[in-house]
Amino acid sequence: MALEINQTESETVTTEPKFGGKAVMLEEHIVEIISDSGEGAQKCGQSFGAIAARMGFGVWTVEIIPAEIRPPARSVAGASGNRIRIGSKRITNGGNETDLVVAFNEQVLLGRVRSKELKPGCTILLESMWRTSSNPRFAKSYVETYDQLVAAGYRVYEIPMDKECRKVVSDPRKGKNMFALGVLCGIYSLDLKVARQQIALTFSKKSDEVIKSNVNLLEAGYRYAEEHIDIKYSIPAVKSTENQIVVNGNTALALGVLASGMEICAMYPITPATSASHYLSDVFEKVGGIVHQAEDEIAACTFAIGASYAGKCTVTITSGPGYSLKQEAIGLAVMGEIPLVVVNVMRGGPSTGQPTKTEQGDLMTTIFGSHGDAPKVVIAPGTIEDCFYSVITARKIAETFNMVVVILSDANLATSQQPFRRPVFSEEWMAPPIDQSAVPKGAKPYDWDPKTGLARRFVPGQPNGMHTLTGLAHDVNSHVAYDPEINQQGMRARSLKLATLQKTLRPPTVFGDPTGDLLVIGWGSSKGAIEEAVEGLRAEGKKVSALHLTFIQPLPPGIREILAGFKQHITIENNWCDQWEDEMIDETNRRYSALALLLRSRYLVDIDCWSECRGTPLKPNTVRRVILEKLS
Amino acid sequence: MTEQTETISASECLIRMYDEQHEIEDYQKGVPRWCSGCGDNSILTAVQRLCRDEGLLPEKTVFVSGIGCSSRLPHYMNTYGFHGIHGRALPVAEGVKLARPDLTVFVNTGDGDCCSIGAAHWIHAIRYNMDMTMMLHDNQIYGLTKMQASPTSPLGLKSNTTPHGTYLEALNPLTVTLGVSNVSFVAQVVDWIPEVMYQVLSQAYHHKGFSFVRIIQRCTEWLPKLLDPWLHDRQRVLLLHHENGLEISPALAKSYTKMREHDPSNMNEAREIASAFDPIPVGILYRNDDVPCYEDLRHDSRLRTNSLIQKGLESEFDKFTIWADGNEPA
């Protein structure tokens, strides 16, 4: 079996000396823990991230998810686990390659090696039980892989996790992850007291015995690291002076739904959006909310539309394929001017694409999707914190402008965790009660304001407001109308609302100097990676700045002025654009990335683009390389 | 508990009676643009009469429809209406009802809208059993798009998409509906017996749950002769009657002598009756008042106040909070 790994010169350590030296100080590190699905690496990684966050580290965790629920054990494609980036400073993205990895078998490790996620020469803590496996195939595969990894320059530590766990519990399969957590706590000098508290929290629904047994495993792992592993790191932590919460993007979205005062979420299961609905189903009912799992995506959207039409603004949560199915219904909400929030947690497309992987491929379909001219608002959170507040903003815009607001998150945000300031509840987040007062006699359901395009919404229950809302072209009375002037009038009003909203938006701020050689423009979850790369290059004297856009439809004012401050411009996105290197590609046929295409058409500036569709979040190093190439 | 009473003068009483008493005109809007003789006209008349007789508040009543000739009906009602997209009337209506259980909801849909493009929603609407009345305007043809075969078109029917006749046996909406879990009200009427249509719609309206009424109606434009054999031979209509179902007036009994006593609680018999088309069974095939409504299962009695939301939110935040030094609650 070919290993396909990067050869390096670094020294290898195969013995297991007891650690005696001083801890090595680090600014940051990237740690991975991977196992077969169901072995608990996810829980270990999340706990490790949470402990680090509680101690005041900057943290960004990313889930490593196989595409199948139960991929075969010990398979290269079956790696399940977590990637945790910890550092002294605030961490805004998943970072570059991994520095240290804990693997429960060599096969899942190979998967990570082959996808080039590990730093050359990185430290590997490998479960060694397979070396003496009674299955000769496993033993052979383990020995071969181990030898190749060592030859390739990785620092491989063999750890008898299974054996060590057996000293504490009878069934090591149900606790190896907490042993591994203890090992990591030992290596990274994390506070055992905080770790114990975290375990109590993680298993708060379980019995005291379960908690105690897991704490024992944690401590065993910690001791093992102290006694047998010759590496110890220390990352200076600065504890926040503010209360923070640690959640992933999907949980943040669900909390945002709660905080927005919406009452109904209609959804249909789809990866990677569903975890938001899982969490919402659990908590929404505590505050009287309802998650309705509809029979399909179209039903989820039309159900939400019906509920919005008769009550408060409603949300539907989906991902790409589901969004495609909802398009006709979204057009109906646009035409009928029904407030609606649609969350699209983007995954790789087209078609079924890469369900568990991240991509920013749906920008065009959300802005221009649905047949005919269907103006709607599109906002894209750039951080986990944004995921929370974006729903509150979306609900407000939807109800103020009677529009569809699409929130474009992605699998990267959905599964990543990052601490942010605990939100302080505000009554202003809440949706006002629905209007049931009588409508003045003679008032019209689509009394479009000629300047803003806005019209008051009549809600069923309001006396004198009776009308039939229709997806057909209609006049101010909501009467079906095929008159050319009337159709023109309705189209104009629906479009004007976007301009009206745009007038209320603040210009975006530039990250770095307002002038320079290159402006890197991005949107959505790539914010952290882009800004980190730009910050690093600026420290090296490069005249590069970054611009992150949260509102994409409408684009906020002030962008033209920002663009004018730079000699060159490039968007960096996680979607498709044609590469100049391809022989067939030239100026007359190159397909640009979504944001680049939008900006080029609006500002008539020759904005270049760079993008990739690898299914993984953009890495700061990749952005750095792209910027340096563009500058050279 | 004391009941609050209010004293009003006799003249005030009269004014209120006048205000709250609705005439049939109060529910009418515009002049229907259906073809003359179209069965939709008789359905419209029946529902307007029903609204008046039940004293439904126009502002608290919503007619939801999809796309097709049938789905124009809300435009001719002076209530709230929702004329949505093809096949999706039911999920829209379910959303309305879940958000606002206080509203009275009717759904008007056709054989193409319901049994073809919206078939998935139809199955699930039966299962949700939300309190609403659905009228399936079944004329066995696509009318608005000009004469294409529908799932309920009889075998061999020549249409613009089946010039040599349809290839498949017609779908039977009654047996389909009766086969779904949680079915709670199933009836069938024909557009040429208005008295029965009204009575069935009235019982459908009073039934708490999802009331499915299939209305066999004539399309005078595309299939003017299709139902003639049934229309002209009263022996080809089978009236279902029961003390818990339809009451047959003496006048009706004179015209339509073919009758069968059928207890609507008898599912097996309902399925047997539903399977036959000649004579056309007319009346209430099935009724079960004990099936829970989805909106009742999902709503709780608590008032959804901002402070309730805040409380829920803060307790969720607590779960995920890393407290700054000194802030940790005891």
Shortest Cα distance from B171 to chain A (angstroms)? 21
Contacts of B6 by beta carbon, 8 Å cutoff, 6+ apart: none
pLDDT at B1 over 80: no
Average pLDDT over residues A245-262: 96
Shortest Cα distance from A408 to chain B (angstroms)? 23
Q: Tell which residue, A108, A109, A117, has the closest CA to residue A156.
A: A109
pLDDT at A15 over 60: no
Cβ of B317 within 8 Å of Cβ of A255? The answer is yes
Alpha-carbon distance B287 to A65, whole Å? Answer: 49
Output the pLDDT for position A174. Answer: 78
Residue A415 identity (one-letter amino acid): T
Contacts of A423 in chain B (CB under 8 A): 317
Alpha-carbon distance B90 to A305, whole Å? Answer: 12
Segment B84-119, tens digit of pLDDT: 999 999 999 999 999 999 999 999 999 999 999 999
Q: What is the mean pLDDT of chain A?
A: 94
pLDDT at A19 over 90: no
C-alpha B277, offset from chain centre: 21
Segment A478-492, tens digit of pLDDT: 999 989 999 999 999
Query: Which of A282, A302, A312, A474 should we substitute to test contact with B (largest number of B Cβ atoms within 10 Å)?
Result: A302
Quote the tokens at residue B14.
């009269």
In the sheet where A377-379 sits, what is the strand order?
A: A290-293, A264-267, A314-318, A340-346, A404-410, A377-379, A551-553
When computed from its CA atoms, the radius of gyration of chain B, rounded to whole angstroms, is 23
Fold classification of A246-429 is Rossmann fold (3.40.50)
Least CB–CB distance from A53: residue in B79, B299, B322? B322
Pair A590, A583: CB distance under 8 Å: no
Output the pLDDT for position A239. Answer: 83
Residue A448 identity (one-letter amino acid): W
Average pLDDT over residues A594-623: 97
Question: DSSP letter at A480?
Answer: B
Concatenated DSSP letters of B150-178: -TTSPTT---SS-TT---SPPP-HHHHHH
Contacts of A294 in chain B (CB under 8 A): 91, 124
Alpha-carbon distance A127 to A156, whole Å? Answer: 10
Please identify among residues 72-111 of chain B the ones whose CB lies closer than 8 Å to any CB of chain A.
74-75, 77-85, 88, 91-100, 102-103
Q: Which chain B residue is nearest to residue A469, measuring alpha carbons?
A: B82
Cβ of B95 within 8 Å of Cβ of A312? The answer is no
Output the pLDDT for position A8. Answer: 42
Pair B138, B216: CB distance under 8 Å: yes
Using DSSP bridges, classify how beta strands A404-410 and A340-346 pair: parallel, antiparallel or unpaired: parallel
Segment B185-200, tens digit of pLDDT: 999 999 999 999 999 9
In chain B, the percentage of residues whose pLDDT exceeds 90 is: 88
pLDDT at B330 over 50: yes
Output the pLDDT for position B175. Answer: 98
B310 close contact with A: CB closer than 8 A:
yes
Q: Tell which residue, A303, A304, A262, A264, has the closest CA to residue A281.
A: A264
Segment A27-56, tens digit of pLDDT: 999 999 999 988 999 999 999 999 999 899
H or E segment to which residue A570 belongs:
strand A566-573
pLDDT at B165 over 50: yes
Output the pLDDT for position B301. Answer: 77
CATH for the stretch A24-234 = 3.40.920.10
A443 close contact with B: CB closer than 8 A:
no
pLDDT at A121 over 70: yes
Average pLDDT over residues B7-12: 73
A86 close contact with B: CB closer than 8 A:
no
Q: Predicted confidence band at B124 (pLDDT cuts at 50, 70, 90)?
A: very high
3-state secondary structure A223-291: HHHHHHCCCCEECCCCCCCCCEEEEEHHHHHHHHHHHCCCCEEEECCCCCCHHHHHHHHHHHHHHCCEE
Q: Tell which residue, A98, A101, A92, A90, has the closest CA to residue A44.
A: A101
The interaxial angle of helices A620-631 and A527-539, nearest 10 deg, is: 50
Quick one: CA dihedral A389, A395, A396, A401, positive or negative? positive
Segment B250-307, tens digit of pLDDT: 999 999 999 999 999 999 999 999 999 999 999 999 999 999 999 999 998 788 899 9
Alpha-carbon distance A448 to A139, whole Å? Answer: 74
Using DSSP bridges, classify how beta strands A608-611 and A566-573 pair: parallel, antiparallel or unpaired: parallel
Contacts of A287 in chain B (CB under 8 A): 304, 308-309, 311-313
Lowest mean pLDDT among A245-249, A289-293, B4-8, B201-205: B4-8
Segment A60-79, tens digit of pLDDT: 999 998 877 778 899 988 88
Output the pLDDT for position A216. Answer: 95
Q: Predicted confidence band at A16 (pLDDT cuts at 50, 70, 90)?
A: very low
Please identify among residues 168-227 of chain A the ones whose CB lies closer than 8 Å to any CB of chain B.
none
Domain B21-303 -> CATH class: alpha beta
Please identify among residues 227-256 of chain A the ones whose CB lies closer than 8 Å to any CB of chain B.
239-247, 251, 255
Output the pLDDT for position B5. Answer: 58
Q: Of how many residues is chain A composed?
A: 632
Segment A318-369, tens digit of pLDDT: 999 999 999 999 999 999 999 999 999 999 999 999 999 999 999 999 999 9
H or E segment to which residue B122 belongs:
helix B119-128
Output the pLDDT for position B325. Answer: 79
Segment A379-397, tens digit of pLDDT: 999 999 999 999 999 999 9
Quote the tokens at residue A305.
């539309």
Cβ of B63 within 8 Å of Cβ of A296? The answer is no
Cβ of B324 within 8 Å of Cβ of A241? The answer is yes
Output the pLDDT for position A572. Answer: 98
Q: Tell which residue, A494, A294, A493, A74, has the closest CA to residue B124.
A: A294
Cβ of A304 within 8 Å of Cβ of B95? The answer is yes
Same CATH topology for A246-429 and A510-631: the answer is yes
Residues β-bridged to residue A372: none
C-alpha A268, offset from chain centre: 19
Going from the C-alpha of A109 to that of each of A106, A125, A146, A485, A596, the distances in angstroms are 5, 10, 10, 65, 37
CA atoms within 13 A on the CB side of A226: 12
Fold classification of A510-631 is Rossmann fold (3.40.50)
Q: Predicted confidence band at A10 (pLDDT cuts at 50, 70, 90)?
A: very low
Segment A443-474, tens digit of pLDDT: 999 999 999 999 999 999 999 999 999 999 99
Cβ of B309 within 8 Å of Cβ of A259? The answer is yes
The interaxial angle of helices B89-99 and A297-310, nearest 10 deg, is: 50
Strands (E) across A23-90 are located at 24-25, 28-35, 58-64, 80-87
CA atoms within 13 A on the CB side of A480: 18
Contacts of A57 in chain B (CB under 8 A): none
Q: Predicted confidence band at B2 (pLDDT cuts at 50, 70, 90)?
A: very low
pLDDT at A632 over 80: yes
Query: How many interchain CB pairs under 8 A, A with B?
Result: 190
Please identify among residues 281-300 of chain A the ones whose CB lies closer than 8 Å to any CB of chain B.
283, 285-290, 292, 294-296, 298-300
Shortest Cα distance from B92 to chain A (angstroms)? 4
Residue A454 identity (one-letter amino acid): L
Pair A127, A58: CB distance under 8 Å: no
Contacts of B79 in chain A (CB under 8 A): 466
Output the pLDDT for position A3. Answer: 53
Output the pLDDT for position A22. Answer: 79
Contacts of A355 by beta carbon, 8 Å cutoff, 6+ apart: A67, A271, A272, A319, A347, A348
Cβ of B75 within 8 Å of Cβ of A255? The answer is no
Pair A610, A533: CB distance under 8 Å: no
In chain A, the percentage of residues whose pLDDT exceeds 90 is: 89
Q: Tell which residue, A303, A340, A330, A326, has the closest CA to residue B124.
A: A303
Shortest Cα distance from B158 to chain A (angstroms)? 30
In the sheet where A544-549 sits, what is the strand order?
A: A510-511, A544-549, A516-523, A566-573, A608-611
B297 close contact with A: CB closer than 8 A:
no
Shortest Cα distance from A300 to chain B (angstroms)? 8
C-alpha A202, offset from chain centre: 22
Output the pLDDT for position B159. Answer: 96
pLDDT at A4 over 80: no
Cβ of B88 within 8 Å of Cβ of A299? The answer is yes
pLDDT at A223 over 90: yes
pLDDT at A6 over 50: no
Sequence spans of domains, chain A: 24-234, 246-429, 510-631
Alpha-carbon distance A303 to A267, whole Å? Answer: 9
Neighbours of A147 (CB within 10 A): 12
Tokens 């075998």 label which residue?
B155
Going from the C-alpha of A255 to that of each of A249, A415, B314, the distances in angstroms are 10, 15, 10
Shortest Cα distance from B25 to chain A (angstroms)? 14
Alpha-carbon distance B199 to B203, whole Å? Answer: 6
Output the pLDDT for position B22. Answer: 85
When computed from its CA atoms, the radius of gyration of chain A, rounded to whole angstroms, is 27
Residue A48 identity (one-letter amino acid): F
Segment A536-566, tens digit of pLDDT: 999 999 999 999 999 999 999 999 999 999 9
Shortest Cα distance from A248 to chain B (angstroms)? 10
Least CB–CB distance from B59: residue in A286, A295, A460? A460
Long-range contacts of A69-75 (CB under 8 A, 24+ apart): A69/A37, A70/A37, A70/A38, A71/A36, A71/A37, A73/A36, A73/A105, A74/A36, A74/A105, A74/A107, A74/A108, A74/A138, A75/A36, A75/A107, A75/A108, A75/A111
Sequence spans of domains, chain B: 21-303
Contacts of B324 in chain A (CB under 8 A): 239-244
In chain B, the percentage of residues whose pLDDT exceeds 70 is: 95
